[in-house]
Structure 1
Amino acid sequence: MRIGDIPNKIVDFFKEVGLEIKKVNWPSRQETIKYTLIVIGVSLAVALFLGGLDIVFQYLLNSFLLK
């Protein structure tokens, strides 16, 4: 590969990227909102669960080991 070919290869790469982007099956706005709410809900549930475990272990540690 010659150094002079590099700009052409870069242009070809971005043309191919554009073609591939057109092939993507993008989700609808409704689907995006639904999945976003699911992710937020699951994240909150996991955070509450881990926070609850932290409180329980902190209580146990303070009650039994750190007297």
Structure 2
Amino acid sequence: MTQHTTEIRPVARHRVSRPLLWALLAVFAVANVVTSVSTLPVYVGVGFGLAALACAATLIHQHYATRRH
């Protein structure tokens, strides 16, 4: 009789690459500055600011999740 073992693998999380996050952070930060000095509505600049904040938070989270102790 053959025994079959099932291997439990951890669920792979989809991670965005760091260079892409850095590029998005730069784009959103520049867009936030441009909308701040232009006559566009405030909520457009707030949206870019929140997107930049989300990119920065994701980069910080990835840094602490993968750093060696």
- TM-score normalised by L of structure 1: 0.40
If asked which structure has higher relative contact order (CA below 8 Å, sep 6+), I would say: 2
User: Larger Rg: 1 or 2?
Assistant: 1
- TM-score normalised by L of structure 2: 0.39
Higher share in helix? 1
